[in-house]
Amino acid sequence: MAEAVLAFGSNLGDSAGAILSAMKQLDHMDGLELVRASQLYRTPPWGVQDQPDFLNACAIYETALSPEALLAACKRLEKDMGRETGQRWGPRLIDIDLIWMEGEVRESETLTLPHPRAAERAFVLVPLEEIAPFLDLSGQTVASHLAALGAPGIEPASP
């Protein structure tokens, strides 16, 4: 079993419900067990600005799956939950990204670990710092990456 970090985002429909449902559904899949999850954070859109704010969260899972199998499970779940292919960085019902996996460093057409832009994205770093501030992400801790970004202005979402 290895630990894996997944990042969740949504800005359409019941975003909180979608993220919590995705976390729960993953926890019930064979080869995956939820270890801990961050709270939800309201974040401004990244990439495409003309869209609603996102809710974002991160979670750590214990997994017996390979990185490719875990990513495929996440993409199947997104589709099952109603995600449609649309504009890159645009609005979405659910987005699940594999950010990091214990002992795995790779770069292929389908998967790069650690996620190549995670250290630049406060919407990943803020919730990840809550649950794993000392995780080594591309040679620095999550807390160090977040400090380098400055004050991102991301606050926990209201219940």
Domain boundaries, the chain: 2-156
Mean pLDDT on 44-64? 88
> pLDDT above 70 covers what percent of the chain?
94
pLDDT recorded at residue 151:
64
pLDDT recorded at residue 7:
98
CA distances from 58 to 4, 5, 86, 109 (A): 10, 7, 23, 24
- Catalytic pick from 27, 76, 80, 92? 92
pLDDT recorded at residue 56:
96
By C-alpha distance, which of 78, 67, 91, 82 is closest to 26? Answer: 78
Beta bridge partners of 129: none
- Catalytic pick from 30, 97, 117, 121? 97
By C-alpha distance, which of 93, 72, 73 is closest to 84? Answer: 93
pLDDT recorded at residue 149:
85
117 among known catalytic residues: no
The mean pLDDT of the chain is 91
- Catalytic pick from 30, 36, 95, 136? 95
95 among known catalytic residues: yes
What are the structure tokens assigned to 79, written together? 């589709």
pLDDT category at 24 given cuts 50, 70, 90 is very high
Neighbouring C-alpha atoms within 13 Å toward the C-beta of 118: 33
Q: Is residue 130 predicted with pLDDT exceeding 70? A: yes
104 — alpha (psi -120 to 50), left (phi > 0) or beta?
beta
Cβ 146 vs Cβ 126: under 8 Å: yes
- Catalytic pick from 30, 53, 83, 117? 83
CATH architecture of the domain covering 2-156: 2-Layer Sandwich (3.30)
Q: Is residue 22 predicted with pLDDT exceeding 70? A: yes
Q: What is the pLDDT of residues 91-124, one digit of tens each?
A: 788 999 999 999 999 998 889 999 988 998 899 9
